[in-house]
């Protein structure tokens, strides 16, 4: 039987079936890096660092294009259907790669078959924050309230099928609680309503939530993973509180359409790794609080295969769909 990792690696190394490539001839025209989210976020800043380096060393413009909508599936699907020549790339996230394609129906693309992974870029833990008006000071406070009256606790998300939405479902399944999901059009509006007391709790990546925590407008209850966050050293991690499986990270990476020649993948991977070691990138992660990933295309392929299995099963078990 062929497993899903084998299928993904087949997409990664399908250069034989891809277009011809002459070493040293890439790129011969401008390259588009598709960001499937709205302009102005950290992904745009990250993309600009990548593009600035690539066009300097490879001699052609690298341009960020925002193709937004449908939980990032519009932009990701666009790249999945592009010619596998290295001229159209996806700057995606956890949602783009392993969540949205399994939640949205009909399935817009198969992330394990339709992409050739290039490199993982950054990752961040998630923090569960509570509204100061909720009265929750600890995780126990939240769980006691949610268990005593199922559905009474409201949990915000950045939209149906977003990483915070699915992470909240994972949390509910591991803690055996039922919360009422309140989707918003982005993390910003969700956090604003949390601060205002319109919703009780929200799962947000640590770098984005830290300013609200430091200003006491949001109360941190736990950080995902098996270690405390350097940005929030006083906040217990999930493993400390008895939930070691609450350890999934929000991450970003670059992929090309399946069938892109291996030499092109190798060039892009090599240069992206160099960007990750630059002073500019160090300043970026210091400012935003992210952790660098890097590594080989196979490293990203392995991560995709592993997390696709986890999220696909969670989404099916919780009955999550967006039409």
Going from the N-terminus, what domains does the chain have, and what CATH number goes with each?
4-124+250-318 (3.40.190.150), 126-223 (3.40.190.10)
What is the C-alpha to C-alpha distance for residues 71 and 95, in angstroms, rounded to an integer? 7
Angle at 231 between CA 229 and CA 233, to 5 degrees: 60
At residue 75, the pLDDT reads 96
Residue 37 has pLDDT above 50, yes or no: yes
Which whole number is the average pLDDT over 61-88?
A: 95
Q: For residue range 116-166, list pLDDT tens digits in order.
A: 999 999 999 999 999 999 999 999 999 999 999 999 999 999 888 889 999
Per-residue pLDDT band for 16 (boundaries 50, 70, 90) equals very low
Residue 216 has pLDDT above 90, yes or no: yes
Write down the mean pLDDT value for the chain. Answer: 91
What is the C-alpha to C-alpha distance for residues 245 and 17, in angstroms, rounded to an integer? 39
Query: Taking the CB of residue 186, how many other CB atoms lie within 10 A of it?
Result: 15
Tell me the Cα Rg of the chain.
Answer: 20
* Structural contact between residues 193 and 156, judged by C-beta atoms closer than 8 angstroms: yes
Query: Taking the CB of residue 8, how many other CB atoms lie within 10 A of it?
Result: 27
10 exposed, middle or buried (CB, 10 Å; 0-12, 13-18, 19+)? middle
DSSP-assigned states of every residue in 155-205: EEESSTTSHHHHHHHHHHHHHT---EEEE-SSHHHHHHHHHHTSSSEEEEE
% residues pLDDT > 90 (the chain): 82
Terminal C-alpha separation, the chain: 31
Q: What is the residue whose two structure tokens read 């350097």?
A: 230
At residue 3, the pLDDT reads 55
CA-based nearest residue to 298, from 63, 11, 105, 64: 11
What does pTM read for this prediction?
Answer: 0.86
Q: For residue range 182-207, list pLDDT tens digits in order.
A: 999 888 899 999 999 999 999 999 99
């Amino acid at each position: 039987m062929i497993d899903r990792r084998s299928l993904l690696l087949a997409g990664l190394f399908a250069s034989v079936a891809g277009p011809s490539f002459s070493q040293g001839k890439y790129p011969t025209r401008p390259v588009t890096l598709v960001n499937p989210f709205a302009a102005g976020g950290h992904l745009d800043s990250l993309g600009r660092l990548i593009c600035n380096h690539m066009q300097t060393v490879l001699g052609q413009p690298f341009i960020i294009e925002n193709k937004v909508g449908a939980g990032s599936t519009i932009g990701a699907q666009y790249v999945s259907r592009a010619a596998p020549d290295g001229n159209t790339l996806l700057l995606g996230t956890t949602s783009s790669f392993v969540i949205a394609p399994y939640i949205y129906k009909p399935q817009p693309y198969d992330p394990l078959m339709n992409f050739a992974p290039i490199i993982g870029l950054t990752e961040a833990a998630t923090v569960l924050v509570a509204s100061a008006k909720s009265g929750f000071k600890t995780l126990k406070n939240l769980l006691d309230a949610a268990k005593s009256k199922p559905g009474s606790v409201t949990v915000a998300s950045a939209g149906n099928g977003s990483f915070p939405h699915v992470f909240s479902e994972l949390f509910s399944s591991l803690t055996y609680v039922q919360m009422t999901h309140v989707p918003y059009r982005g993390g910003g509006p969700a956090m604003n309503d949390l601060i205002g007391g319109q919703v009780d709790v929200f799962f947000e990546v640590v770098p984005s939530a830290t300013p609200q925590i430091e200003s006491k407008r949001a109360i941190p209850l736990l950080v995902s993973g098996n270690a405390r966050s350097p940005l929030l050293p006083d906040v217990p991690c999930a493993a400390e509180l008895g939930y070691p499986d609450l350890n999934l990270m929000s991450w970003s990476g670059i992929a090309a359409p399946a069938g892109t020649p291996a030499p092109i993948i190798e060039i892009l991977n090599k240069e992206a790794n160099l960007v990750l070691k630059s002073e500019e990138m160090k300043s970026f992660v210091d400012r935003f609080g992210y952790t660098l990933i890097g590594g080989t295309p196979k490293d990203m392929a392995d991560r995709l295969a592993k997390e696709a299995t986890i999220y696909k099963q969670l989404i099916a078990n919780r009955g999550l769909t967006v039409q």
